[in-house]
Amino acid sequence: MKNWRFYTCFFLCSFKLIHANLIGGTFAILSNHYDTVSMDSQKIITTIAPIVNLAVTFTLSFVIDKFKFRHIIIPTYILCLAHALTFQLIKDNSVLYIIYFFAITIITAIDNLSTFPHFMKVFGMKYIVVIFGIFNIGVGYFNLGISI
């Protein structure tokens, strides 16, 4: 905890993909509010989403280890920023809304797959569980703020 990398990684982990967490947590609320996706379609989408996430995670786990962390995370955050900036334009189109929902789950999967191995490399195997637990406390507080 005396290392500047700890605080940099804590900040990165706590505030990463704010938009992704917001869209993932409020998918049903926003689609009901804008009357974009029907309730029956929402049930189908939320049933299919874990299957898509499993397939994407399984496929990407073979690819992500071949690249450096910065070569993965910078394009991922740029995609998330583009997603956030263009989300306002698609909120009335149900097909694009569903595509954007699945796109943000893929972006989140890429981030999750690349972050933990990077933290293991930075902090070592001995303390990674404790350090990652501290990082997730920050994520929990921030997601609580998003929910409110």
Where in the chain are the domains? 4-136
d(C-alpha 34, C-alpha 127), whole Å: 46
pTM attached to this predicted model: 0.81
pLDDT tens column, 74-89:
999 899 889 888 988 8
Q: Does residue 129 register a pLDDT over 70?
A: yes
CB atoms within 10 A of CB 115: 20
Strand blocks (E) in 14-72 = none
